[in-house]
Amino acid sequence: MNILKFLVSVIFLIYCFSSDLKAKNLEIEITKNLRCLICQGQSVYDSDSEFANSLKILVEKKLNEGLDEKQIYAYLKNKYGDWILYDPGFSKNTYFLWLLPILMFIFGGAIILRKVILKKKKL
Amino acid sequence: MKTKIFPIFLIFIFSIIFFVFYKGLQNTNVYTPTIKSEIKIPNFDAKEFFSKDKINSDQIFIGSDYYLLNIWASWCVPCKEEHKYLMDLSKKENIKIIGQNYKDNFENAKNFLINLDNPYDLIFLDNDGTIAIEWGAYGVPETFLIQNNKIIKKIIGPLNEKLLFEIKELTQ
């Protein structure tokens, strides 16, 4: 009977610990995707500034309140604008940002294709 | 002909790049994005500075009066600089100045107010800085002009003569 009790408590402890770890991991992931607005080139996770530390506490609070990752991003975007996210969403302000690489790819491809066709014609 | 154009073109391009980077050296590279103004004020719970009673933001910002929310701390040097402007504004009857004490030690904050005088009608505590995030603030000092539960003006950094004048104009 004692062994059973012991086993149950061990499993319970492992369960608690792992779920706690999962929450911590999500918190780390979120703060890594947030830009520390008053630092230069650092994420909130990497920074130890007052601003970043408050944000870390806030993310933890919001997770405890039951908000998911996307809701937290939306919440912070509403407060600070797109700039706080390292991965800004597709909106009318970011069309250019998202489409530029594709345009460059197509344009470059077109140049290469033209050259290849011209070379073939010459041959 | 073709061989001559190329080096000139190269020099031209490099001088442009040099010019851009050289200019860029002098710019401050802290970027603060423009945020749509007239946003609604957040709802939060806080503790009053002196009594430590719990208050909700609904109890602070009431009706169509002008409120000036000032985020401050005793350890913040620019806060001392802007203090005289807050004292000036506290004489105006139609603005209520609300202080948000940001990550501060209570005794230091109290001494700050004793030494420099207290311009605030009400002060609440923000010990972990999360209320500042609710406001969309970056740090201390930061000031918000509020009317009808909306932020009319947001000032990042300390107040100065020009901003004081602007606030007075807005609250005429």
Closest CA to A37 of A75, A67, A95, A79: A79
User: How far is it, in rounded angstroms, from Cα B53 to Cα B68?
Assistant: 21
Q: Are residues A105 and A116 in the same domain?
A: yes
List the single residue in B32, B136, B139 with the smallest CB-CB distance to A79. Answer: B136
Chain A residues bordering chain B (beta-carbon distance below 8 Å): 37-38, 40, 50-51, 53-55, 57-58, 61, 79-83
DSSP secondary structure of B145-157:
EEETTEEEEEEES
Per the CB < 8 A criterion, the answer to whether A89 and A65 are in contact is: no
Q: Are residues A30 and A70 in the same domain?
A: yes
User: A75 CA to chain B: closest CA distance, Å?
Assistant: 9
Closest CA to B44 of B154, B120, B128, B104: B128
Chain B residue with CA closest to A56: the answer is: B130
Matching residue, tokens 């937290």: A72
List all residues 6 or more positions away from B136 whose beta carbon is below 8 Å from its beta carbon.
Answer: A79, A80, B35, B39, B154
List the single residue in B31, B34, B133 with the smallest CB-CB distance to A55. Answer: B133
Q: Are residues A7 and A18 in the same domain?
A: yes
List the single residue in B33, B103, B134 with the smallest CB-CB distance to A50. Answer: B103
Q: Is the ipTM of this complex over 0.85?
A: no
User: How far is it, in rounded angstroms, from Cα A51 to Cα A74?
Assistant: 18
Per the CB < 8 A criterion, the answer to whether B121 and B128 are in contact is: no
User: How far is it, in rounded angstroms, from Cα B142 to Cα B151?
Assistant: 13
User: How far is it, in rounded angstroms, from Cα B126 to Cα B50?
Assistant: 13
pLDDT tens by residue, chain A, 123 residues:
788 888 888 887 777 677 777 777 888 999 999 999 888 889 999 999 999 999 999 999 999 999 889 999 999 988 888 888 887 777 777 788 888 999 999 999 999 999 999 988 887
Q: Are residues A35 and A80 in the same domain?
A: yes
- Per the DSSP assignment, residues forming a β-bridge with B154 are B144
Q: Are residues A109 and A63 in the same domain?
A: no
What percent of chain B is predicted at pLDDT more than 90?
A: 57
Q: Please judge whether B130 and A54 are an interchain contact, meaning their C-beta atoms are less than 8 angstroms apart.
A: yes
Lowest mean pLDDT among B3-12, B13-22, B26-35: B26-35
User: How far is it, in rounded angstroms, from Cα A102 to Cα A107?
Assistant: 8
Q: Are residues A68 and A114 in the same domain?
A: no
User: A62 CA to chain B: closest CA distance, Å?
Assistant: 11
**H or E stretch covering A60:** helix A50-64
pLDDT at residue A2 in the model: 81
Matching residue, tokens 């030690």: B105
Q: Please judge whether A38 and B136 are an interchain contact, meaning their C-beta atoms are less than 8 angstroms apart.
A: no
Q: Are residues A67 and A15 in the same domain?
A: yes
Number of domain units in chain A: 2
User: How far is it, in rounded angstroms, from Cα B142 to Cα B159?
Assistant: 9
Q: Please judge whether A38 and B133 are an interchain contact, meaning their C-beta atoms are less than 8 angstroms apart.
A: no
- Chain B CB contacts of A67 under 8 Å are none
What domain range is A98 assigned to?
A: 90-123
For the cut 90, the answer to whether the pLDDT of residue B85 exceeds it is yes
Q: Are residues A84 and A31 in the same domain?
A: yes
For the entire predicted model, the pTM comes to 0.72
DSSP secondary structure of B84-148:
HHHHHHHT-TTEEEEEEEES--HHHHHHHHHHH----SEEEEESSSHHHHHHT--SSSEEEEEET
The residue-averaged pLDDT of B131-158 equals 89
For the cut 60, the answer to whether the pLDDT of residue B37 exceeds it is no
Q: Which domains does chain B have, with CATH numbers?
A: 45-170 (3.40.30.10)
Q: Please judge whether B35 and A80 are an interchain contact, meaning their C-beta atoms are less than 8 angstroms apart.
A: yes
**Can you give the CATH number for the domain in which A62 is found?**
1.10.8.640
For the cut 60, the answer to whether the pLDDT of residue B107 exceeds it is yes
The residue-averaged pLDDT of B3-28 equals 87
Matching residue, tokens 């390292």: A86
Q: Please judge whether A82 and B136 are an interchain contact, meaning their C-beta atoms are less than 8 angstroms apart.
A: no
Q: Are residues A32 and A65 in the same domain?
A: yes
Q: Are residues A83 and A104 in the same domain?
A: no
The residue ranking higher by pLDDT, B58 or A92, is B58
Q: Does B29 touch chain A (CB under 8 A)?
A: yes
- Chain B CB contacts of A83 under 8 Å are 31, 33
